C-alpha cells in the first residue's frame, strides 16, 4: 500500500512549516489540501506560506486556480491521487498538508464522504444558512408544531424549547426540500454499510493548540494580514466583481459560500468597502466601521478554527477508528500550544515518528505523546454527532408525574439517564412501592 504523511490542524499552528520540515528530513514534496490555497495569487487572504519560507520544497496543487473557478472535493481527490502516484514513483514521500479536513478525509478514505456529501451534508455543516425572517417571527411553540408535521423524527430529537435547533431543521427542509432526518440517515447508512476503507497507509500529524493560547495568536494574525496588504487583495477582488470579470459561483442564496468567496475576510469587510466605495461616511465613522469589520474577521477566524477541531474529533477520528483496517492510518496529536517549544514538541517528534513510518519500524503509541494527546485521542471522548442525534429517543417516565399530573417526558438518552438517577425519580419509585404494598395489605 502506498505511503503518505499528512499534516492537519487549525489555522495558525504551523502546519505548512511542519510540512516543509518533514519534506526536508525525509525527502518529500507537499500536496496542498487547503481549499483556499489552490487559488492563484491572493497570498494573504488565502494564508499561503511565503515563498522564501518554503525552503525549496516543492508544493503541488497550490496557486493554480482562477478566482471564479470552483474546485470540488472530487476534483481534489483525483488530482491529489495522481500527484501521490507520481511522487511515489519518483521515490519522494508525499506530504499532504491542509486545513480543509473534508479534502483530507476524502483522500484518505474510500466511501467516507464523497457520494453523500454534495447535497445535504455540506449544507448541514454550513455555519451560516440563509436567514428566514418568516420563521424568526414565529413563536417557538408554533415552530415546533410545524416541525412535528414536517419532520417528526427531528422534532422528537429536539427539546420543544430549543428554538435554534428547531429553526435549523426547518431551514434544512425549506431550503433543501428534504427532511434533515433523511439526510442524516442516508449518510449514516452509507457509512455503516461500507465502513471506510483507507486508500493509503498514512501517518497523520494533528497539530493542536489550546484555544486559549491559539485565539490571541489568530487575532494577531488578522492584524498582520491587514498590515501586509489584505485590503489590496480584497479591493482587487471587488474590482473584478464590479467590472463583471468574474461571476461569483452559486445563486444568491449561497453566494460567498462557495469557492474563493468563502475566504475569511472577504465578506467580513464588505460593509467597510461598500462604505468606502460609496463615499458615504466621514472619516471617524469609517474607521469605526473598519474596526467592527476587523473584529468580525477575527471572530470568524476563531469560529473556523473551532469547527476544524470539531471536524477532526467528530468526523475524521471516528472514521479512522471505524475503518476496516485500523492500523493503516495512525493519528498523532502534537502539542503546538507553545510556539517557543514548537521545535521540540512538534518538529522533532514528528520527524522521529515519520522516520519510523518510512522505515517500516514499530510505531510509537500515539497515547504516549502527553496528556492532551491522551485525552483527545481517546475513543470515548469523540462521538459521531450524527449517530448520536439519530440514537436520541424520547422517554416517558413510567412512574413520575408532573405537578399538574402530566406525563414526564425526557428528551434524549442522557436526560433520561440523569432523570433515572434523580431524587425525584427515586422518590416516585418509593412512593409507587409503598402504594403497591398498601394495595396488597388492603386485599
Ligand atoms: Zn421518573
- Provide block-wise average pLDDT over 10 residues at a time, the chain (443 residues): 95 94 97 94 91 94 90 92 96 95 90 47 55 85 94 88 90 84 75 72 96 94 95 91 70 64 90 91 94 96 91 86 80 94 96 96 92 83 49 72 80 75 88 81 70
Entry field: residues in the chain: 443
Separation of 220 CA from ligand 1 center, angstroms?
Answer: 51
Separation of 401 CA from ligand 1 center, angstroms?
Answer: 8
User: Which domains are present in the chain?
Assistant: 3-112+196-387 (3.40.50.300), 126-190 (1.10.20.140), 393-442 (3.30.160.60)
Separation of 406 CA from ligand 1 center, angstroms?
Answer: 12
Whole-angstrom distance, CA of residue 252 vs CA of residue 234: 20
**pLDDT given for residue 118 in this prediction:** 41
Q: Over the Cα atoms of the chain, what is R_g?
A: 26
**pLDDT given for residue 114 in this prediction:** 43
**pLDDT given for residue 135 in this prediction:** 86
The answer to whether the beta carbons of residues 261 and 240 sit under 8 Å apart is no
In the DSSP assignment, the letter for residue 314 is I
Separation of 396 CA from ligand 1 center, angstroms?
Answer: 8
Separation of 419 CA from ligand 1 center, angstroms?
Answer: 6
Separation of 416 CA from ligand 1 center, angstroms?
Answer: 8
Beta bridge partners of 205: 7, 332
Whole-angstrom distance, CA of residue 23 vs CA of residue 25: 6
Ligand 1 (ion): which residues have CB within 5 A?
A: 397, 400, 425
Whole-angstrom distance, CA of residue 36 vs CA of residue 48: 9
**pLDDT given for residue 150 in this prediction:** 92
**pLDDT given for residue 381 in this prediction:** 44
Q: Which of 376, 330, 384 is nearest to 6 (CA)?
A: 330
Question: Which triple of cell numbers denotes residue 323?
Answer: 475503518
Separation of 392 CA from ligand 1 center, angstroms?
Answer: 18
Q: Which of 150, 139, 193, 206 is nearest to 173 (CA)?
A: 150
| SS3 of residue 302 by DSSP | helix
Separation of 431 CA from ligand 1 center, angstroms?
Answer: 11
Query: 97-125 in b/e burial notation, b at 16+ Cβ within 10 A?
Result: bbbbbbbbbbbbbebbbbebbeebbebbe
Separation of 341 CA from ligand 1 center, angstroms?
Answer: 52
Separation of 407 CA from ligand 1 center, angstroms?
Answer: 10
Amino acid at each position: 500500500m502506498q505511503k503518505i504523511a499528512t499534516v492537519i490542524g487549525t489555522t495558525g499552528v504551523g502546519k505548512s512549516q511542519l510540512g516543509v520540515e518533514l519534506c526536508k528530513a525525509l525527502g518529500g514534496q507537499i500536496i496542498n489540501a487547503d481549499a483556499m490555497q489552490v487559488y492563484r495569487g491572493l497570498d494573504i487572504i488565502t494564508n499561503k506560506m511565503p515563498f522564501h519560507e518554503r525552503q525549496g520544497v516543492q508544493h503541488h496543487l497550490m496557486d493554480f486556480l482562477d478566482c471564479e473557478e470552483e474546485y470540488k472535493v472530487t476534483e481534489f481527490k483525483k488530482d491529489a491521487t495522481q500527484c501521490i502516484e507520481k511522487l511515489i514513483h519518483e521515490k519522494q514521500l508525499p506530504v499532504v498538508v491542509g486545513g480543509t479536513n473534508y479534502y483530507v478525509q476524502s483522500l484518505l478514505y474510500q466511501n467516507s464522504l464523497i457520494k453523500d456529501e454534495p447535497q445535504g451534508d455540506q449544507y448541514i455543516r454550513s455555519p451560516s444558512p440563509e436567514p428566514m425572517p418568516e420563521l424568526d417571527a414565529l413563536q417557538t411553540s408554533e415552530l415546533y408544531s410545524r416541525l412535528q408535521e414536517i419532520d417528526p423524527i427531528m422534532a422528537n430529537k429536539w427539546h420543544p424549547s430549543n428554538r435554534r435547533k428547531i429553526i435549523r431543521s426547518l431551514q434544512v427542509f425549506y431550503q433543501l426540500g428534504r427532511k434533515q432526518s433523511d439526510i442524516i440517515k442516508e449518510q449514516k447508512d452509507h457509512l455503516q454499510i461500507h465502513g471506510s476503507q483507507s486508500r493509503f497507509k498514512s501517518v497523520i500529524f494533528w497539530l493542536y493548540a489550546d484555544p486559549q493560547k491559539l485565539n490571541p495568536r489568530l487575532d494577531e494574525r488578522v492584524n498582520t494580514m491587514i498590515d501586509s496588504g489584505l485590503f489590496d487583495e480584497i479591493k482587487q477582488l471587488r474590482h473584478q466583481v464590479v467590472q463583471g470579470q468574474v461571476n461569483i459561483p452559486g445563486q444568491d442564496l449561497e453566494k460567498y459560500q462557495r469557492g474563493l468567496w468563502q475566504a475569511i475576510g472577504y465578506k467580513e469587510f464588505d460593509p467597510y468597502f461598500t462604505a468606502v466605495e460609496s463615499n458615504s461616511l466621514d472619516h471617524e465613522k469609517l474607521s469605526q466601521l473598519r474596526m467592527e469589520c476587523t473584529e468580525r474577521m477575527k471572530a470568524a477566524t476563531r469560529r473556523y478554527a473551532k469547527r476544524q477541531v470539531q471536524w477532526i474529533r467528530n468526523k475524521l477520528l471516528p472514521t479512522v477508528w471505524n475503518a476496516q483496517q485500523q492500523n493503516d492510518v495512525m493519528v498523532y496529536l502534537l502539542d503546538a500550544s507553545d510556539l517557543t517549544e514548537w521545535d521540540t514538541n512538534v518538529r522533532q517528534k514528528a520527524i522521529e515518528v515519520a522516520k519510523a513510518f518510512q522505515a517500516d519500524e514499530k510505531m510509537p503509541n500515539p497515547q504516549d505523546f502527553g496528556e492532551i494527546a491522551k485525552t483527545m485521542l481517546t475513543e470515548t471522548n469523540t462521538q459521531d454527532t450524527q449517530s448520536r442525534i439519530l440514537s436520541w429517543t424520547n422517554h416517558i417516565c413510567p412512574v413520575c408525574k408532573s405537578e399538574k399530573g402530566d406525563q414526564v417526558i425526557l428528551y434524549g438518552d442522557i436526560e433520561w439517564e440523569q432523570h433515572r438517577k434523580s431524587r425525584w425519580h427515586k422518590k416516585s419509585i418509593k412512593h409507587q412501592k409503598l402504594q403497591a404494598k398498601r394495595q396488597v395489605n388492603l386485599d
